[in-house]
Structure 1
Amino acid sequence: MSSDAGQSFLAAYPGPAPMPESVPVGIPAWLNWAHFFNMFLMVLIIRTGLQVRTQRKPEAYWRPKNGGKKISLMLWFHLLLDVLWVLNGLIFVVLLFATGQWMRIVPTSWDVFPNAVSAGLQYLSLDWPTDNGWVYYNALQQLAYFVTVFVAAPLAIASGARMSMWWRNEWKTANKLFPAPAARALHMPVMVYFLVFIVVHVGLVFTTGVLRNLNTMYAARGSVDPNEYAGDWTGLIMFLVSLVVVAAAVAVARPQFLAPVARLTGDVSAR
C-alpha cells in the first residue's frame, strides 16, 4: 500500500463504514447484555452440538410428557439453548431497529465494499485501522457483523429447526423445499463460520486496544475521544467475570445437573 496507487486508494477509501448522519453514538447497556448472553449461549450451543454429534452412547434420554420421540438429554439441552439464543436474538434485533443501532451494522452505501477492501489491506499490512467502536465500525467489521446477524444466524436457526423434533413429517411441501440432508449439510459449516468469527473477533479485540474495546462491549463506557477510557479496567474485569460464569455453566452442564431441570418438561431415563 506504499505505492502511489495504494496511497490514492487509501485516501479515497480510508476504511470506516459509510453511515447515515443520524447514526447514534455509543453502545447502550442493553447491547452489552445481549452481547454477553449471546457469548454465554453460543459457547454452550457449540459445545453441546459437538457432543451430540460425537457421542456414541448417551448417558440419559428425554421424552416429552405427552409422548413423542425420545432424544438424548444432551440434545434436549442443545435445543433448549437454541430456543434461548433465538429469543435473545429476537430481542436484540427488535431493539436494534427501535433505537437506530441498526445503522451501525447494516450497510447503507455501496462504498462499504471498497472501504472493506481498504480495511482488510490495512489489517494484512499490520498497519491496522485505528477505529473507535464507540462511534463507528470500519467497513470490514460492519460487513462481518451484518453477515453474522442477518445471514449466518438465520441459516443456523432454519437448519437447526429442520433437524429438530419439532419439524413434522406431515409438512410434505416444506420437506421437499428444505430436505433434511440439506439442513445437515448446512448446519455444520455455519457452526464453523461462527467459530472462525469468534476466534478472529476475540483476537482483534485483544490486539486493537483491549481495555477500550472491552469497555465498549461489556461496560457501555466510551467516548468520541478514543483515549478517554484507554486506562479504564472496568470492561476487562466484567469480561473476566463473564468468563467465570461461562466456565461454571460448562462445568455443570452434565446429566446429573441437567436431569432435574429436564424432568420439568418431560421424562428422563437412562435408556
Structure 2
Amino acid sequence: MSNKPTTPEPLEAAITQADDRLLADHWMPPQAGIVPRVRVGRRWISVLWALPIGTAALMVLIAVAQAAPPVDSGFPWWLQVQHFLNMFFMLFIIRAGLQILADHPRLYWRRHCTPGTDWFRFQRPVPKGRVWTAKDDSVTLPTWLGIPGLRHTLGLARWWHFSVNLLWVINGVLFYGLLFATDQWRRLVPLTWEVFPAALSTAIQYASLNFPVDHSWTRYNGLQELSYFVTVFVAAPVSIVTGLMQSPAIANSLGWIGRLLNRQAMRSIHFLSFAWFVTFIAMHGVMVFITGLRQNTNHMFAGVENDSWAGLPLFLLAMAVLTAAWLLASPFTRRHARLVQRTGRFMIGWLKTLATRMDPKTQF
C-alpha cells in the first residue's frame, strides 16, 4: 500500500487530531478593541458620528415615488422561500465575516499594509519599538456577535464564511434565473430616469411624515427599486468577486490584474459591500414595521394581498428559527470545532484543492 499523502499539501496529512472543543481557558486571553474609526486626511473620526447622520438621511430617503412598472404575480412561493434562505444565510455570513475581520481589524488600500496607512480600524495604533504580530492585533468579539466569539479563531470563522457563502451563491443563481423567467425582474430594474426626480419629490413627503400609498404587491416605490437593484445586481456580485480576489492563489495567478486589484483593496471594497448589506437589512427591517407589519408579512410570508393575519404566524416562526440559529451558532462551534472543519472541508474542499493546484506568481 502506498504511503503517499492523498492531499496536495503533505504537511496537512501529518497534522495530529486535537480535542473537538474550543476551551476558552486554554485559548488566547481576550483583548478588547475600540469603537471603529475612519481616517479622513490625517484625522481619525469615530463612526458613531455617522450613525445618527446616516440614520436620519436614510429615513428621509427610504420612500420615493411609485416609478416601477407593475407585476401581475404578487410574491410567488419561490420568492418567499428564497427571501427566508437569504436572511438565514446572511446571518452566518455577516457574523463569520466580522470574526475574520477581528483577526486583523484594519483596512488598507495598498497591499503592503504599512503601519499607519490603514483607513479603517477598530484597534489602537500599531505601537512602535516592538514586534507587533497578527496575534497581538486580533481583538475579541462578543459570543453573540462573532462566530465562535473567541479571539484569533480565524480558521473556524473562514469555514463558516466560505461554506455558507457557497449556499448563498447557489440560492442567488436560482434567484437570478427565476427572476428573469418571470415578470419579477420589473420590480428591481429601473426602466426610466424618472425614478430619480420622483425619489426627491416623495422624499419630501416622507420627511413630513406623509407616507406615500404602498403598492408593493404589484410594484416597488422608487427607492425600494433602486436599493434592491444595487443590492442584487451590484453589491452581491462585488462581494463575490472581491471575496475570491482575497485568495493569494487566485490574486497572484492573475498577474498585473492581481497587482492592480490587490488583496488589501479587495478587503476594503468587500467591507464596503458588507456595510451596504448591513445598512440595507437594518432599514428594510425597520420599514417592515413602519409601513405595515400585517400587509408586509402577508406579502412575503403568506403570498396574499388581503386584510387577514395569515402571514404573521409564518413571520414569527421565521424569526424564531433565525433567533435560535443566532444563539446556537457560537456555542455549537465551540463544542464541535472539528465537525465544523469537516463539514467545511466537505462543502468547499474542492475549491481549496483547485486553488492549491494553481501556479501563483509572487506579486511585486
**Contact 2:100–2:154 at 8 Å: present in 1 too?**
no
In structure 2, the residue corresponding to 1:167 is in which secondary structure? helix
**Contact 1:73–1:259 at 8 Å: present in 2 too?**
no
Partner of 1:44: 92
Q: Output one character per residue of 1:110-142: Cα deviation in whole Å (capped at 9) or x when no partner.
A: 111122222322222210111121111111111
| Aligned-partner residue type, residue 339 of structure 2 | P
In structure 2, the residue corresponding to 1:239 is in which secondary structure? helix
In the superposition, the TM-score normalised over structure 1's length comes to: 0.79
Partner of 1:81: 164
* 1:20-169 matched pairs, under 5 angstroms: 23-55=71-103, 56=138, 72-164=155-247, 167=250, 169=252
Partner of 2:321: 245
In structure 2, the residue corresponding to 1:17 is in which secondary structure? coil
Q: Output one character per residue of 1:76-111: Cα deviation in whole Å (capped at 9) or x when no partner.
A: 111111111111111111100001210111011111
Partner of 1:176: 259
- Equivalent residue for 1:233, pick from 293, 309, 327: 309
Partner Cα distance (2:245, 2:343) in 1: 25
**Contact 1:119–1:140 at 8 Å: present in 2 too?**
no
Q: Which runs of 5+ in 2 are unaligned?
A: 1-63, 104-137, 141-146, 347-364
Partner of 1:17: 67
Partner Cα distance (2:86, 2:277) in 1: 12
Partner Cα distance (1:39, 1:255) in 2: 23
| Aligned-partner residue type, residue 247 of structure 1 | T
| Aligned-partner residue type, residue 32 of structure 1 | Q
- Shift in CA distance, 71/170, structure 1 to aligned 2, threshold 3 Å: farther
In structure 2, the residue corresponding to 1:115 is in which secondary structure? helix
**Contact 1:159–1:187 at 8 Å: present in 2 too?**
yes
| Aligned-partner residue type, residue 341 of structure 2 | A
Quote the RMSD (CA, aligned, Å).
2.5
Q: Which runs of 5+ in 1 are unaligned?
A: 1-13, 61-69, 223-228
Partner Cα distance (2:310, 2:92) in 1: 25
Partner Cα distance (1:187, 1:168) in 2: 15
In structure 1, the residue corresponding to 2:219 is in which secondary structure? coil
Partner of 1:260: 339
**Contact 2:68–2:219 at 8 Å: present in 1 too?**
no
For residue 46 of structure 1, report the CA deviation from its aligned partner. 0.9
Partner Cα distance (2:72, 2:249) in 1: 40
Partner Cα distance (1:265, 1:199) in 2: 29
Partner of 2:35: none
**Contact 1:117–1:140 at 8 Å: present in 2 too?**
no
Identity %: 41
**Contact 1:18–1:111 at 8 Å: present in 2 too?**
no
* 1:188-207 matched pairs, under 5 angstroms: 188-207=271-290
In structure 1, the residue corresponding to 2:83 is in which secondary structure? helix
Partner Cα distance (2:139, 2:275) in 1: 25
Partner Cα distance (1:236, 1:164) in 2: 43
User: Where in structure 1 do 4 or more consecutive aligned residues deviate above 3 Å?
Assistant: 55-60, 264-267
In the superposition, the TM-score normalised over structure 2's length comes to: 0.60
Partner Cα distance (2:98, 2:344) in 1: 23
For residue 264 of structure 1, report the CA deviation from its aligned partner. 4.5
Partner Cα distance (1:113, 1:174) in 2: 35
